[in-house]
């Protein structure tokens, strides 16, 4: 009988990339003899300890990759919802940790967030900066919940001898992303906005002056990085695993314009609107030192994502996620 590996949060962009990677015969480096069980919030409420324990009991997992998170989106972005974000994310983490302990899980992977790094720190952010300064204020309930994963994984390793690792992704984009204009991250939101504007021959508004720099990692690269660590990395030290290639908001807007054939003169940067944090960069040298990982250039990943979006919008519109879901 095959050993089972639970993958939570499998309906979001990273979980979807996991599925594509593991189900493709073209990725022989990652295809193995494990039975991967992909779940979303409808399959098991990870905030509910009884549901989690029942699910573990029924399925007899050997490994767990915990990708699931509640990070805001529609209706949860205001400060009055920060306790909800904190409670639900911490509850999911503790339920997964406790179930993994009690059901003798052989290896557990936890997913942290670059938002837990303080904006007051020198960049690029290094892994040992995690508890220095205050986390980003915007979604502090979510970010502090993510910070707690680091001492939690060390505590469970030390007390119970568990094999737990923690990985820190940065911005992720790719096929099967959330293209809802109200809840989507920057890249899929711009792809949707530019496509709509081209089809309707309209101008497009981009908030700010376009100067902020961001790191974005193609989802299939992030899935490969996670799977490499799942199979090869066993240290308690967390790892930044995202690409460090930086692009400004303006660069991204112009790249999308070039790929879809949109008239750049129709792009209007609204400098009266907030432009956000000017720069967020991470140091992934520790990960590269152990893995020699190679990332897809941003432009190449962007082109693949746009091709997927345009094809499925025309031929399989039900595959396009236009709303937030856990």
pLDDT digits (tens, 9 = 90+) for 202-227: 999 998 899 999 999 999 999 999 99
Q: Is residue 325 one of the residues assigned to a domain? A: no
Peptide bond just before 57 cis, omega within 30 deg: no
> What is the band of 326 on the pLDDT scale with cuts at 50, 70, 90?
very low
Whether 77 shows a pLDDT value over 80: the answer reads no
Which residues form the domain of 22?
4-172+216-240
The mean pLDDT of 101-109, rounded to a whole number, is 98
Residue 44 pLDDT:
96
112 and 81 housed in the same domain: yes
The mean pLDDT of 74-81, rounded to a whole number, is 60
* Percentage of the chain lying above the pLDDT 70 cut: 93
The token pair that represents 174 in the structure block: 């790719």
What are the phi and psi torsion angles at 246 (to 5°)? Answer: -105, 140
| 3-class state of residue 289 by DSSP | helix
64 and 210 housed in the same domain: no
Q: Is residue 285 one of the residues assigned to a domain? A: no
Looking at residue 193, which CATH number applies to its domain? 3.90.25.10
23 and 130 housed in the same domain: yes
pTM of the model: 0.92
Q: What is the CA radius of gyration of the chain?
A: 20
Residue 324 pLDDT:
45
- Of 81-85, 100-104, 130-134, 258-262, the poorest mean pLDDT is in 81-85
How many structural domains are present in the chain? 2
Residue 74 pLDDT:
41
Q: Is 156 noted as a catalytic residue in this protein?
A: no
Whether 132 shows a pLDDT value over 80: the answer reads yes
Q: Is residue 326 one of the residues assigned to a domain? A: no
210 and 161 housed in the same domain: no
The gap from C-alpha 154 to its chain's centroid, in whole angstroms, comes to: 22
The DSSP bridge partners found for residue 36 are: 5
Contact between 85 and 70 under an 8 Å Cβ cutoff? The reply is yes
Residues 58 and 218: their CA atoms lie apart, in Å, by 34
Whether 140 shows a pLDDT value over 60: the answer reads yes
Q: Is residue 9 one of the residues assigned to a domain? A: yes
The mean pLDDT of 243-262, rounded to a whole number, is 96
Looking at residue 74, which CATH number applies to its domain? 3.40.50.720
160 and 259 housed in the same domain: no
What order do you get walking across the sheet with 246-248 strand by strand?
171-173, 213-218, 246-248
The token pair that represents 70 in the structure block: 């509640």
> What is the band of 32 on the pLDDT scale with cuts at 50, 70, 90?
confident
Question: Of 140, 142, 144, 233, which residue is the catalytic one?
Answer: 142
Q: Is residue 143 one of the residues assigned to a domain? A: yes
47 and 86 housed in the same domain: yes
| 3-class state of residue 159 by DSSP | helix
Query: pLDDT digits over 283-322, tens only?
Result: 999 999 999 999 999 999 999 999 999 999 888 888 887 6
């Amino acid at each position: 009988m095959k050993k089972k590996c639970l993958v939570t949060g499998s309906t979001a962009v990273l979980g979807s990339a996991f599925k594509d990677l593991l189900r493709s015969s073209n990725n022989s480096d990652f295809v193995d003899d494990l039975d991967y069980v992909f779940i979303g919030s409808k399959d098991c409420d990870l905030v509910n300890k009884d549901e989690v324990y029942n699910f573990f009991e029924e399925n007899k997992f050997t490994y767990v990759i915990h990708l699931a998170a509640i990070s805001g989106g529609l209706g949860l972005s205001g400060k009055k919802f920060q306790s909800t974000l904190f409670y639900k994310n911490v509850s999911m983490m503790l339920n997964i940790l406790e179930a993994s302990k009690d059901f003798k899980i052989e290896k557990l992977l936890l997913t942290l967030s670059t938002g837990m790094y303080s904006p007051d720190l020198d960049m690029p952010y290094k892994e040992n900066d995690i508890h220095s300064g205050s986390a980003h204020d915007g979604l502090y309930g979510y970010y502090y919940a993510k910070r707690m994963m680091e001492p939690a994984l060390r505590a469970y390793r030390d007390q119970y001898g568990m094999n737990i690792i923690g990985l820190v992704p940065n911005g992720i984009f790719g096929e099967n992303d959330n293209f809802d204009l109200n809840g989507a991250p920057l890249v899929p939101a711009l792809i949707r906005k530019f496509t709509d504007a081209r089809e309707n021959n309209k101008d497009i508004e981009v908030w700010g002056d376009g100067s902020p720099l961001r790191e974005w990692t193609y989802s299939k690269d992030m899935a490969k990085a996670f799977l490499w660590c799942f199979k090869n990395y066993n240290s308690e030290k967390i790892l930044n695993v995202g690409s460090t290639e930086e692009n400004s908001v303006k660069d991204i807007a112009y790249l999308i314009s070039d790929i879809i054939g949109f008239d750049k003169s129709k792009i209007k940067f609204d400098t009266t609107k907030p432009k956000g944090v000017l720069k967020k960069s991470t140091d992934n040298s520790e990960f590269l030192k152990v893995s020699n990982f190679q990332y897809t250039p941003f432009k190449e990943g962007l082109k693949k994502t746009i091709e997927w979006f345009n094809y499925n919008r025309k031929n399989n519109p039900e595959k396009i996620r236009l709303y937030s879901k856990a």
